[in-house]
Structure 1
Amino acid sequence: MIDRHLHRSFSVVVCAYTEERWEDILAAVDSVRGQSMPATETLLVVDHNEALRARLLARYASLSPADGGEVRVLANAGPRGLSAGRNTGIAVARGEFVAFLDDDAVAEPDWLRYLAAGYGDPRVMAVGGRTLPFWVSGGRPDWFPEEFDWVVGCTYRGLPPGKVRVRNVLGGNASFRRTAFDAAGGFATGIGRGGDRRPLGCEETELCIRLGRALPRAVLLIDDRAVIRHKVPTARARFGYFRERAYAEGLSKALVARSVGAGKGLESERRYATRVLPAGVARALRDMVRGRGRRRGGAARAGAIVAGVLTTTAGYLVGSARVRRGPVTFASGPITPADAPVRV
């Protein structure tokens, strides 16, 4: 049960980049403004798209901050990409805590309240939540394994349930103490999604590992009661995207391992690969034998898990070869409006 009298000062950062997601962006902001524990402000950071920024400025210019908090529309002050956009929001955030919500997701009404409840212990530096997929096409494809829900930005099967300590939170549904960025710096550009179309990731993993090094006593939590629902368009429910995203994840993991070392950088991934995925294949094959309901896709799910592992591994090997050819550097230290982006 959460304390209904609890209130902490939260700035919520939503990064946007395309007018194609106009309705999704508005829904994301509405879900923040409808929280049972209101946010201090919503920071809409627009990634090098002046037409979208002007449209959002006009949309929220006359909005009263009295009901649901202020909405501020900002331009990404750094290079194109999600990491620099988030750093822009962090740099100007006025809240004691900074939360992040994807621009194509909506938060449940108690999302912020559950995140806030995790900060009772001063050692807690980050709290994340649970991200559920909303399949636009009408439901999860039979072949799509829950163990690979990270492909579509959602909580995947294999993460421990409840309120648990973790190595890293997941970036689309996460919060940090503002002081965490003073200690460890911000999100590193060059790891996550940038100006190209390749669906890279792992920027929050690298940051969380770096935070643990800067503050060895830091605690990072996931509370699966802090729920958001993430839109999965039809294009991302296809095997082609599944394969592309898995390959990009391998490339990203190579950069993380180069930055923080393979020990920490791949610690959780080893358990996932040696325990969670084999159990997923066995479950899918059992479903194939039983052949009822969603079990009808058992053989395809088993094949998708194997394909996902092989494709991710290939990306990691290619990425490792690339980073060996040149240095990868990460800036650290406090973020200010003048130096918000942390570059790779």
Structure 2
Amino acid sequence: MPGPPPLVSVVVSARGNTQSVRNLLDALAVQALPAAQMEAVVVDNDLPGPVRPIADAVCDGTWPFAVRVLYEPTPGLSAGRNRGICAARGRYVAITDPDITPDPGWLHALVAAIEEEQVFAVGGRTDVTYPGGQITALTTALRECHGAVKWPAGREMAVWPYWVTGCNLLFDRQTALDIGLFRTDLGRRGRWMGDCEDLEFIDRARQAGHQTLIEPAARASHPVYRPETTLRYFVRQGAGHGVCVARMHLSVTVEPAAIQAGCRDVHAAAVGLAAGWTFLDRSRAVEGARDLVRIGAYHLERGRLRLLGRRPIALAQYAPKEPLPWT
């Protein structure tokens, strides 16, 4: 007979990163939240085949909480997460990635915030690290491709200029099922570097009347290695980001700050590329090239969607920041 359901289900979708899954489970084993109040749902999203290294690695370990391994044959981060959320038994679902290392107080801080403030979701602070040495040459815009750079000092609503990331997010499971889970045409899928699945999910919830909070005390670290700091990486990331922002128009009202694809933005990107190339400022030139690719991909995808008869939702307008409900 299964025991009582846990308070929190930690859902992680893994593809080809077996050792990272074990490291994540080891980090969850030292969480301040009692082990009896949590479970881990690991979704194997590897290619089909008789060998399941993720399942084998998890089954070989011993952790103080329940660990379940599921298989999701549809490739894609969103598909894997959705599979885990549907199978989760906890009242709350915390989603993260295999290569994330949460602080011991991570889950406790997320749960405390969501229960004290009575919001739909809480996102924690994710600190990007660069193993082997800090890469200081990257511009702020390029660093934001790896994760948020600016964080509030205390609890704040997840509205611009702050945003949450899918590797550090806790939400009410039943509400998520009611509003719909992650869109599978967004997010990373194999070698395709899509994203915005977490941004669209939170925006859709907010536009349905459900608030999301940022709790900077819920900290985790995310390593970024040198292959993710190359021109090729940023160009691919820009293309995927542009396509996904264009697709977001089909389900949510997209904030103008998330688009930045007008004539002035094209001009600024071109100037940045030319100036960076002229003055041998590599990071500025890479940022300009990435932005030009991103803007081009955004408009091409919007045009394709129009030809298919997919009607977008109107753009949002800038509005004053909403006062916090607890102030």
Check conservation: 1:150, 1:156, Cα contact below 8 A. Answer: yes
Check conservation: 1:53, 1:73, Cα contact below 8 A. Answer: no
Instruction: Give the aligned partner of residue 12 of structure 2.
Output: 14
- Residue 82 in 1 paired to residue 77 in 2? yes
Shift of the alpha carbon at 1:316? 1.0
- Residue 206 in 1 paired to residue 200 in 2? yes
Does the C-alpha gap of structure 1 residues 42 and 253 become closer, same or farther in structure 2, counting only changes over 3 Å? same
Please give the alpha-carbon distance, in whole angstroms, between the structure 2 residues aligned to 1:62 and 1:306: 47
How far does the alpha carbon of each residue in 1:12-52 deviate from its partner, in whole angstroms, 9 at most, with x for none? 0111111xx22222111211222111451111101143569
- Greater than 4 Å deviation, 4+ residue runs: 50-53, 62-65, 270-274
Map 1:227-266 onto structure 2 (within 5 A): 227-260=219-252, 264-266=253-255
Does the C-alpha gap of structure 1 residues 271 and 327 become closer, same or farther in structure 2, counting only changes over 3 Å? closer
Name stretches of at least 5 consecutive residues in structure 2 with no aligned partner: 1-5, 312-327
Percent of matched pairs sharing the same residue? 27
Letter in 1 for 2:142: F
Does the C-alpha gap of structure 1 residues 328 and 189 become closer, same or farther in structure 2, counting only changes over 3 Å? farther
Instruction: Give the aligned partner of residue 42 of structure 1.
Output: 40
Does the C-alpha gap of structure 1 residues 59 and 308 become closer, same or farther in structure 2, counting only changes over 3 Å? closer
Shift of the alpha carbon at 1:178? 0.9
Q: Tell me the TM-score normalised to structure 2 length.
A: 0.78
Does the C-alpha gap of structure 1 residues 318 and 211 become closer, same or farther in structure 2, counting only changes over 3 Å? same
Instruction: Give the aligned partner of residue 291 of structure 1.
Output: none
Check conservation: 1:57, 1:73, Cα contact below 8 A. Answer: yes
Query: Which segment is superposed worse, 38-47 or 247-256?
Result: 38-47
- Residue 54 in 1 paired to residue 46 in 2? no
Instruction: Give the aligned partner of residue 88 of structure 2.
Output: 93
Q: Which has the higher contact order (CA 8 A, sep 6+)?
A: 1
Name stretches of at least 5 consecutive residues in structure 1 with no aligned partner: 1-7, 289-296, 330-344
Between Structure 1 and Structure 2, which shows a larger proportion of helix residues?
1
Shift of the alpha carbon at 1:254? 0.3
- Residue 324 in 1 paired to residue 320 in 2? no
**What's the secondary structure of 1:41's corresponding residue?**
strand
**What's the secondary structure of 1:223's corresponding residue?**
strand
Query: Which segment is superposed worse, 184-193 or 114-123?
Result: 114-123
Please give the alpha-carbon distance, in whole angstroms, between the structure 1 residues aligned to 2:310 and 2:31: 40
- Residue 306 in 1 paired to residue 288 in 2? yes
Instruction: Give the aligned partner of residue 193 of structure 1.
Output: 188
- Residue 165 in 1 paired to residue 164 in 2? no
Instruction: Give the aligned partner of residue 337 of structure 1.
Output: none
Check conservation: 1:143, 1:298, Cα contact below 8 A. Answer: no
Please give the alpha-carbon distance, in whole angstroms, between the structure 1 residues aligned to 2:56 and 2:286: 45
Q: Tell me the TM-score normalised to structure 1 length.
A: 0.75
How far does the alpha carbon of each residue in 1:27-78 deviate from its partner, in whole angstroms, 9 at most, with x for none? 112112221114511111011435697333333336555x2x111111016x
